Amino acid sequence: MDGLRIVVGSDDAGLQYKEVLRELLEADERVAAVIDVGVAAGEETAYPDVAVDAARRVAAGEADRALLVCGTGLGVAIAANKVAGVRAVTAHDSYSVERAVLSNDAQVLCLGQRVIGVELARRLVREWVGHHFDPSSPSARKVARIVHYDH
C-alpha cells in the first residue's frame, strides 16, 4: 500500500481540532495526501455539506478515508452515512477506533471537539491510520451484508 489519501473536514465547532489533526496527518509518513474540504476560519458551512462532500470523495475513490470533526462527531457521522458505500463512525476510544476499521471497514472517522481532549484526538487518529481492514477476515462477510443494503 502506498499511503492513504485522507479527506479532512469540519464545521466551525470542530475547526480547531481539524486543523491540528490535518497537520498531524500531513506529517505522517503513512499518509500520501490530505485533502481539506473545509471549513476555514471565519467560514460558515453547514456540517452536513462538509460531511457529504468528504464522503462522496471516499465513495468515488478519490480518497481512501475521511476524518470529520464537529462538536460531538455525531452530526457529521449521520450526514456521511447518507452516501451509499460509506461507513462512518463516531469513536472516542482506542478499541472502538480499532474495531471500526478491523470489524466494519469504516472509512470515515468522526470525532467531537467538545467531547474529547486534543491529545486523545491526536492519539486516536494516529492509531486509526495504522489499522487496515482484511477482506479475508471473518468480518468481511458481515461488511458485505452492510454493503448489500446500499443497493
Residues marked as catalytic: 70
b/e sequence 4-31, b meaning 16+ C-beta within 10 Å: bbbbbbbbbbbbebbbbbbebbeebeeb
* DSSP-derived 3-state class of residue 60: coil
- What is the phi-psi region of residue 31: left when phi exceeds 0, alpha when psi lies from -120 to 50, beta otherwise? beta
β-sheet bridge partners, residue 36: 8
